[in-house]
Amino acid sequence: MRATKRVKFVDSSTNYNDAHVILNVGGVRFETQRTTLKKLPATRLSKLTPQLSFYDPVLNEYYFDRHPGVFSQILNYYRTGKLHYPTNVCGPLFEDELSYWGIQREEVEPCCWMTYTKHRSTQETLQTLDSLGLDTVRSNMIDLIKKFDWENDLHFMTTGQLPLAKRIRLITWQLFEESRSSIIAKIIAFISMLFILLSITTFVLRTLTIFEVAEYHFVDVYIGDNSTEKTPVQSTERIKIVDGFEIIEWICNSWFAFEIVLRFILAPSKRAFCVSILNWIDFLGTFFFFFTYILYNVFNYDGHQAPLDLLSTISVARMFKLINLHPRLKIITISISNSSRLLVLSMYFCFVVILIAGAALYYAERISNMSKSQIISVMDGIWLALTTVTTVGYGDIVPKSLFGMILGAITTIFGVLIIDLPMPIINEIFDNFNRHLLARQQLPKQRRRVTQVAIPRKIKPFIPTNGNVHHQHKT
């Protein structure tokens, strides 16, 4: 009996198709091995099977309608295990692609961290600009209704319009809060700015001696044993100013009082209005004016006037109200606010350097036994270090010994470094806000929105009992 040998033929094309995978991403074809895609489990590409809807059996490829430029870096991550950031795409787009392919964004290589996280600071900057509303000239009615929380108003829900009283409140609020919304709003903003400048100018000019009205009291001066003579003596308890300044201050502060009361009544959120620093400055400046006027003219207070005048200097801080009238002024304040941590750190190092340098200067002068030394205590040394670090240099106290002069020079160098090193960072923060503000102002107010893609319904064959094949739509 002849022995037979069975031979099994293996289809080489089947092995090839099973080992190699063709990926069509956005019209660009990529070919790799299936074992390469298995290196990263629990990702989209590690679970490829012919049963998936995006597999094309005719072309023997998987089609993904995604960004091909980003996918080249993702496929390279499967091959090398290192994920690099493509510099020709935006950060949020790269994050969306990573999320789609099931890759953690923390896997980016350290060499690309700065490039990868740069867009995050940009998004934070844009969110800050959105909260400030610098590019908003006039709010639309829908935004105003949401701001005042009137969406559930019965009259608005039934008729589509607000009641007359609420419409008047919205219009008046826009006139005083949105200075660029209309011509009348610009006029009101100009009047407010004019009164602020006039009030501050009056506050400064009234301190000149040419506008003071001197008061004299006549006292009896004994000339001889029994004779007296009336002699005028200037009163220094209270300084009177010409009446014109008082009239101007009354006009300005009457406008300030009217404005702050009206803005408080119209404010959509009384709590947000009360926590505003600018509103507190405006209130205190107006309050101290009326308080001092009543104290001096109604209660005839004849005490020392300087402490009360010192409290009235808060009215000069009304200049900060001009920040709301120009977007660039707001950018400066926001830049300083975002640099607060850096500024606090710089002040801390200044404080440390001043203390160390002040004590070192005192003991350096003491060791040198200089008889004419001007630094007779540590406080004098701290004062010298303070004027040196801040580069003011009054010159009222100076070191006399050689060692003290060397320490003074070293302190000057540290002062220059501590003050100058944070300035480029703060300037960069301001430039970042300013560039994004200019870019936003040049963008169109309304942009076309991409609509949702219509997903086609799947069709499955339906075979009736008579054997004819029909197609039935799956709903």
Q: Which residue has the tokens 């004098």?
A: 380
Q: How far is CA 467 from CA 458, 460, 470, 472, 473, in A?
A: 22, 16, 9, 15, 18
Q: Is the residue at 459 inside a domain?
A: no
Are residue 126 and residue 18 in the same domain, yes or no? Answer: yes
Name the least confident of 50-59, 65-74, 112-121, 310-319: 112-121
Q: Are 409 and 357 in contact (CB under 8 A)?
A: no
**pLDDT greater at residue 130 or residue 296:** 296
**pLDDT greater at residue 103 or residue 372:** 103
pLDDT band (50, 70, 90) for residue 470: very low
Best CA proximity match to 401, nearest among 378, 377, 374: 374
Q: Output the six-digit token pair for 90.
A: 């935006």
List the CATH number of the domain containing 381: 1.10.287.70
Q: Is the residue at 442 inside a domain?
A: no
Best CA proximity match to 94, nearest among 116, 123, 77, 79: 116
Instruction: State which residues form the domain around 229.
Output: 183-320
Q: Are 273 and 263 in contact (CB under 8 A)?
A: yes
List the CATH number of the domain containing 49: 3.30.710.10
Q: Is the residue at 347 inside a domain?
A: yes
Q: Which of 285, 320, 355 is the last residue of a domain?
A: 320
Residue-wise pLDDT tens digits, 427-440: 888 887 777 777 76
Are residue 360 and residue 295 in the same domain, yes or no? Answer: no
Are residue 116 and residue 202 in the same domain, yes or no? Answer: no
Tell me the pairing of strands 240-241 and 212-213. Answer: antiparallel
Q: Is the residue at 238 inside a domain?
A: yes
Q: Is the residue at 471 inside a domain?
A: no
Are residue 308 and residue 368 in the same domain, yes or no? Answer: no
Are residue 302 and residue 359 in the same domain, yes or no? Answer: no
Q: What is the pLDDT of residue 461?
A: 47
pLDDT band (50, 70, 90) for residue 166: confident
Are residue 203 and residue 289 in the same domain, yes or no? Answer: yes
In the predicted model, what is the mean pLDDT of residues 306-310? 71
Tell me the pairing of strands 61-64 and 20-25. Answer: parallel
Non-local (6+) Cβ contacts of 3 within 8 A are none
Are residue 301 and residue 373 in the same domain, yes or no? Answer: no
pLDDT at position 297 over 90: no
Q: Is the residue at 281 inside a domain?
A: yes
Q: What is the pLDDT of residue 111?
A: 84
pLDDT at position 262 over 90: yes
Q: What is the pLDDT of residue 154?
A: 78
Which segment, 227-241, 290-304, 407-421, is predicted with the most confidence on average? 407-421
Are residue 280 and residue 405 in the same domain, yes or no? Answer: no
Domain count, the chain: 3
Name the least confident of 102-106, 269-273, 327-331: 327-331
∠ CA 428-434-440, nearest 5°, is 135
Name the least confident of 113-117, 215-219, 339-343: 215-219
From first CA to last CA, the distance across the chain in angstroms is 65
Q: What is the pLDDT of residue 251?
A: 92
Q: What is the pLDDT of residue 146?
A: 81
Are residue 294 and residue 193 in the same domain, yes or no? Answer: yes
Q: Are 289 and 282 in contact (CB under 8 A)?
A: no
Q: What is the pLDDT of residue 13?
A: 41
Q: Which of 404, 423, 442 is the last residue of a domain?
A: 423
Q: Is the residue at 256 inside a domain?
A: yes
Q: What is the pLDDT of residue 231?
A: 61
Distance from C-alpha of 189 to C-alpha of 138, rounded to nearest angstrom:
14
Are residue 227 and residue 106 in the same domain, yes or no? Answer: no
Tell me the pairing of strands 240-241 and 28-33. Answer: unpaired
In the predicted model, what is the mean pLDDT of residues 115-131? 72
Q: What is the pLDDT of residue 233?
A: 57
Q: Are 392 and 435 in contact (CB under 8 A)?
A: no
**pLDDT greater at residue 13 or residue 30:** 30
Residue-wise pLDDT tens digits, 170-219: 888 888 888 878 889 889 989 998 999 998 888 888 878 777 766 666 66
Residue-wise pLDDT tens digits, 30-59: 999 988 888 888 889 988 888 888 888 888
Q: Is the residue at 308 inside a domain?
A: yes
Are residue 74 and residue 100 in the same domain, yes or no? Answer: yes
**pLDDT greater at residue 434 or residue 400:** 400
Mean pLDDT of the chain: 78
Q: Which of 320, 349, 372 is the last residue of a domain?
A: 320
Distance from C-alpha of 424 to C-alpha of 254, rounded to nearest angstrom:
44
Distance from C-alpha of 458 to C-alpha of 306, rounded to nearest angstrom:
87
Q: What is the pLDDT of residue 313?
A: 79
pLDDT band (50, 70, 90) for residue 243: confident
Are residue 205 and residue 257 in the same domain, yes or no? Answer: yes
Q: What is the pLDDT of residue 346?
A: 87
